[in-house]
Amino acid sequence: METNETLDRYQRTQDGFEAVLAAVSPERWDAASACEYWTVRDVAGHVIWSLEVLCHHLAGREYTVLNGPAGSEKPGELAGDDPVVAWRETREAAAALLTGDVLDRPAPAWYAANRPDATVTDYLALLTFDTLVHTWDVGSALGIEVRMEPDIVKPSFSLARLIISRTPGTFGPKVKPEPGADQQTRFLAFLGRSA
pTM reported for the whole predicted model: 0.92
The DSSP-derived string for 19-82 is HHHHT--GGGTTSB-SSTT-BHHHHHHHHHHHHHHHHHHHTT------SSSTT-S-GGGGT-S-
pLDDT of 175: 86
pLDDT grade, residue 195 (50/70/90)?
low
Instruction: Tell me which DSSP letter residue 163 carries.
Output: H
Give pLDDT tens digits for 27-56. 999 999 988 889 999 999 999 999 999 999
**Mind listing the domains of the chain with CATH numbers?**
2-143 (1.20.120.450)
pLDDT digit string (tens) for 163-180?
877 666 667 778 888 888
Measure the CA–CA gap between 59 and 140, rounded to whole angstroms: 35
Q: How far apart are CA 33 and CA 51, in angstroms?
A: 20
How far is residue 164 CA from its own chain's centroid? Answer: 13
Closest CA to 172 of 79, 36, 73, 68: 36
Q: How far apart are CA 138 and CA 110, in angstroms?
A: 26
Decide: helix, strand or coil at residue 119.
Answer: strand
More confident residue, 150 or 112: 150
pLDDT single digits (tens) 82-139? 999 999 999 999 999 998 789 999 998 878 887 889 999 999 999 999 999 999 999 9
**φ and ψ at 32, to 5 degrees?**
-65, 140
Sequence-distant (6+) residues with CB within 8 A of 136 are 34, 146, 148, 188, 193
Instruction: Name the band, by pLDDT with cuts 50, 70 and 90, for residue 81.
Output: very high
